[in-house]
Structure 1
């Protein structure tokens, strides 16, 4: 399992780094393709970034059946092959709608990032679930921490169009890594689910089901806010007066600050969950993330925005890992695959809606994207405070009572 975890985490790091070499600069690429209106650029960027996870969420049940027959390694490999090819094609496009069409195609085969989180959670014992999830999510955060900075340098040195070709090479490296290192565990025949003990929260029991639905909403909301930057950040920096030749680099630094701080948050969540109950941890981190967005609403200086991005990224990273871990403790062993499938769908739905909503909001005001983010995080904090049940937390986290 350690070899498999390392293989999938490394593939996530390389793949996510390759993705963020070029995709954060999609608004600038649309401008190079002939679009001039900032609102149209934001809308097309949002639609292009959001359509892939949206398609993935819709097709998740189909690919789940394919996984039952052929295994998860097959799903990851076909996803990486698709990205190798489509990233090359994105570097050859001549019209904005070509990008959108290729992103639709990616949606038919994408989703290995969310699948990796589910695989890590399902393969880990309960007391190490947060660590396993955190490892994969850290890799998924560190990739985007490195990618935008490299992509910003490449955009200046060789141009955004050529950066898509470099991105394809990253996906090729991830493909080889999974193909050679990852060993598909033997699939055991499905057996009758064991009876639940009175002490174990069941998936269909009232309190456990209520918390699970809440955490699905929290994961959706966190993804909604976390990925709202993509379509608007370069345009936002332009409004702040950042010189045109420095926008790509400045955007890359901000994206990397969020991703790097998020990776640290993923790693420390295991320790924090031994000190704080999930409800308290989620409440505080949602409020901290909202505070990290306020400087963007107030249009502070670039240096202040970088510091705010670090706060925002760390809080989001902790909250995401804590949400998946808390939900994993609620779902009993025999329903773990079903439970994490639903969590993955919530995550993908957030990934899909977020850039689309940002693109629409940007037509009203680019700053409104950050205002809505602050409001969303405040609502999530309130929901966790008033809906999450202490007795379910204590059943899942007995160590919290001892601290």
Structure 2
């Protein structure tokens, strides 16, 4: 088996475990916090929000730092650090004695993160150009699949085995990812001490700052769009449904629809970007995603919303590999880890920003307004991409 294919398989497995681990813990957090002795409903909600959000905020801060370390010491070393570190920290969450210890461990989890960005940088630098789009598209399905399956698996484990076992099993899976990375990932890496720069100095050496910034913003907007609906989805399903007996199931299916579509389409759209150019796929995906949000505000039953969310997932599947492929083409290998670290930070900020935006807009303007505003943001981003990337910049110049 070719080296890049073996690396892709191992990284896919590791990112799947990481995505599943992060997402399966989220729905269990409120119940686990109650299990730790917090009885007041308002306090449970408050602590749950803090415990969930702190990981992403800290991850956004530390992703560029770990990207710098990846460029200095190699991407494989960062994969080993992150997978082993998360295995230990998440496993320790099962031993937490109070909510403050849990929040502290969640904060520490954000500090040691960086597995996904290191995987992306590794595949981007170790895969030949003609297969890069397909490889990065395939890799993007891993975290989507993990995020899709995580809540269901976490809920099943918590219900049948207990809350603590969710953290123990997640830690064990990440330990398996660590062992697989140590045994099977092979990276051709030569350390270059001259490239050890600060974050500010790193940005100064990025060759195509304007295009890179547009790609960062696109990652932010894309993630924000996905997560803007998450806080209000169950409430919206309740409004649309004529019965309240299956709201939770319908909400889970609706949320999973976009993830399922992305799994199906990401690798194929990545392959298409190799043929026609990632900038074309990116622009089309932004336009479709922006437009498909608008009719979601007018649906009259959950099944219509589910179908539209599936189409949205197809569009999102074209954005992730396109952004990563463009970043690979315009970034020197010596800066790849740091640039992908910045891009990962943009995604983490999008998760946090989307959750906040969706809840606040729904509270003040109504749930349907969330879809209008999110769609408008995606379409504005598409216009920016059209004039600055698609129309005026020839990507071939950066190959």
Q: Write out per-residue CA displacement over residues 315-336 of structure 1, whole angstroms, 9 at most, x where no aligned residue.
A: 1121121122123223345554
Q: 1:226 to 1:31 in 2, by over 3 A?
A: farther
Report the secondary structure of 1:392's partner residue.
coil
- Contact 1:50 / 1:353 at 8 angstroms: preserved in 2? no
Q: 1:389 to 1:229 in 2, by over 3 A?
A: closer
Q: 1:239 to 1:98 in 2, by over 3 A?
A: farther
Q: CA deviation at 1:150?
A: 3.0
Provide the C-alpha distance between the structure 2 equivalents of 1:380 and 1:391, rounded to a whole number of angstroms: 15
Which residue in the other structure is 1:284 paired with? 284
Provide the C-alpha distance between the structure 2 equivalents of 1:367 and 1:226, rounded to a whole number of angstroms: 15
- Contact 2:126 / 2:188 at 8 angstroms: preserved in 1? no
State whether structure 2 residue 175 is matched by structure 1 residue 172: yes
- Stretch of structure 1 that moved more, 287-296 or 239-248: 239-248
Which residue in the other structure is 2:23 paired with? 20
Q: CA deviation at 1:362?
A: 5.2
Which residue in the other structure is 2:394 paired with? 393
Q: 1:337 to 1:179 in 2, by over 3 A?
A: closer
- Contact 1:145 / 1:258 at 8 angstroms: preserved in 2? no
Which residue in the other structure is 1:107 paired with? 110
Q: CA deviation at 1:376?
A: 1.7
Which residue in the other structure is 2:202 paired with? none
Provide the C-alpha distance between the structure 2 equivalents of 1:86 and 1:233, rounded to a whole number of angstroms: 31
Which residue in the other structure is 1:221 paired with? 221
Provide the C-alpha distance between the structure 1 equivalents of 2:396 and 2:105, rounded to a whole number of angstroms: 46
- Stretch of structure 1 that moved more, 241-250 or 18-27: 241-250
State whether structure 2 residue 132 is matched by structure 1 residue 122: no
Aligned pairs for 1:38-187 within 5 A: 41=45, 47-67=50-70, 70-91=73-94, 99-154=102-157, 157-158=160-161, 162-187=165-190
- Stretch of structure 1 that moved more, 344-353 or 138-147: 344-353
Q: Write out per-residue CA displacement over residues 353-381 of structure 1, whole angstroms, 9 at most, x where no aligned residue.
A: 33344454455455554443222212212
Q: 1:115 to 1:35 in 2, by over 3 A?
A: farther
Q: Write out per-residue CA displacement over residues 271-291 of structure 1, whole angstroms, 9 at most, x where no aligned residue.
A: 332565544432321232234
State whether structure 2 residue 354 is matched by structure 1 residue 354: yes
Q: CA deviation at 1:123?
A: 1.7
Number of corresponding residues: 384
Provide the C-alpha distance between the structure 1 equivalents of 2:32 and 2:287, rounded to a whole number of angstroms: 34
Q: CA deviation at 1:394?
A: 4.9
- Contact 1:141 / 1:262 at 8 angstroms: preserved in 2? yes
State whether structure 2 residue 257 is matched by structure 1 residue 257: yes
Q: 1:123 to 1:327 in 2, by over 3 A?
A: same
Which residue in the other structure is 2:267 paired with? 267
- Contact 1:147 / 1:256 at 8 angstroms: preserved in 2? no
Q: CA deviation at 1:218?
A: 0.9
Task: Give the alignment's TM-score, normalised by structure 2.
Answer: 0.79
- Contact 1:234 / 1:248 at 8 angstroms: preserved in 2? yes
Which residue in the other structure is 2:210 paired with? 210
Q: 1:386 to 1:223 in 2, by over 3 A?
A: same
Which residue in the other structure is 1:304 paired with? 304
Report the secondary structure of 1:388's partner residue.
helix
Which residue in the other structure is 2:200 paired with? none
Which residue in the other structure is 1:401 paired with? none
Q: Write out per-residue CA displacement over residues 92-124 of structure 1, whole angstroms, 9 at most, x where no aligned residue.
A: 667666554332121111121122112211222
Unaligned runs of at least 5 residues, structure 1: 193-201, 399-403
Q: Write out per-residue CA displacement over residues 109-149 of structure 1, whole angstroms, 9 at most, x where no aligned residue.
A: 11211221122112223332212211221222222233333
Which residue in the other structure is 1:322 paired with? 322
Provide the C-alpha distance between the structure 2 equivalents of 1:4 and 1:101, rounded to a whole number of angstroms: 33
Which residue in the other structure is 1:195 paired with? none
Which residue in the other structure is 2:385 paired with? 384
Provide the C-alpha distance between the structure 2 equivalents of 1:160 and 1:244, rounded to a whole number of angstroms: 27
Q: CA deviation at 1:59?
A: 2.2
Q: 1:96 to 1:312 in 2, by over 3 A?
A: farther
Task: Give the alignment's TM-score, normalised by structure 1.
Answer: 0.79
- Contact 1:120 / 1:133 at 8 angstroms: preserved in 2? yes
